[in-house]
Chains A and B, each alone.
Chain A
């Protein structure tokens, strides 16, 4: 138990309104959007500036508290859940946009800025920050960097990593770091910046982020294609890519997903179809016209059941927004949705869909599949009930077997959600003991006693107490 003295000290240093220790606050600061995973912190602090953050870290060291950084807690692998209790370090109140540099085409913001706020702020200057994770309306930039978040535009524009130019913050022992700068070229030293992107808060706390901005596309066209067989949709994706067309967005939704999204968004999606592709092509108007024609040709070749073009920008936006709700919309049909973000080389998509279909039948479970087909990043989502341990076991077996296949196809166990707690076991399979050992040494260099965001990424590292695993089958 944390003592009253420590709480009082934190309140003095960080502001009483930024320190929570009542049970009702702590109970709602132990989860993110990952099912089955939940911790309970002893205290939560939300510093408003670097000094407050320093004070919080100092207390954590003195008291031997585990520290878990937390943005908007929309993560999908448990990265911000306090697996070992201790202190939640909320970063949503360091949320100023510090600079939009039109000469260098960069923006600098504090870690707690919401992704779309940054997008809108730079858009007002005629600039474009492309990464657009599904939770962009609530997720923080710091969270995006920590998880190296992707999004719908990842296929053409890349993911968060591709836009991070500089990071600064504090290591857990209080050391300040600055990694990167505004230079387009920079090969000085190890790329600490690239190590920190996607490190899931296990190495240090990022407080400021400088991102690269680009020109927004001049033109955009959105196509919808419907399919009577999901494998045909997979084939279409592989052929579009093989045809050297890189759409900004190339999303897939299967029948279950289509129906759940339609229940929520009511935008007239075809409920009877087995799959749809949402394709957005952008760029110079002449190129866009050419690529739309190319995409259409592929769709006709593979005999898509129907091809539609969005009538206007508003309809296109509506379609993209609807796709973003897929996961949550799928949650309509059952209490628990367990999703993964298996990713394969794009030429292997059709095979992967076939394997998903086969395993669904084998385990007799309901799975909705959608995802960023264009970059091979799928989100097979098991629709289940966490109160049913038998079914949960089947779900976990399903994913375990699917990942065998994914890895055998040269894929990865996480395209964009990170490892966190949920995928620790799969990571070992992908990297083997050797790869894990390298990562462990890195982690030790930053955090020798393993009390900083404990329980993440590494399988047998201590600190799994406090994690709720109702099914008892957790990888």
Chain B
């Protein structure tokens, strides 16, 4: 299937338009939910860190340090990808699945269009390209949420928090997070598209395909999270 997905497009202009449509549909439309979740998750991590660090031996700036590393290493790339697996994955599977059961994919095939490439390639490329931006935004908003809520609830001063997020900063952590994000984006888009494309039956099966897409994507994300962490950080 993947060989046909990555075969030469019939008309580049049409694929380009589809690609930008998918950037908007799968990426830009996911911004609000990711922004809200990341902001509050950063705030909660900060308050929880402050609550846990009761020993006088642990410096206060460790709160900022913890918030930064939690967001960069795990929450933004993995947890947000899991959230995207639910939102984007089900969207892709149900959209393509509905096209399958309403014969829209057959209509594409009859016109001589490579339906696999036309439907899946723009989605995969859009996800792989836009998800890293979403994750970077999630990191920023998570750390910002921790700052605002930490200062607002007086668990940390602005100076100590900013010092903490700069303390022992390792730029490879960002690279590691982005590598994970790209792999997860590919998993989300390709697995969901596969589930949708091979839907058979009616509306009930479209729902099942959508559920299966989310479950398989989530499991694969967790497995690859472990493998990539072992490969890149161990």
Tell me whether A and B are bound partners.
no
Which residues of A approach B to under 8 Å, CB–CB?
A: none
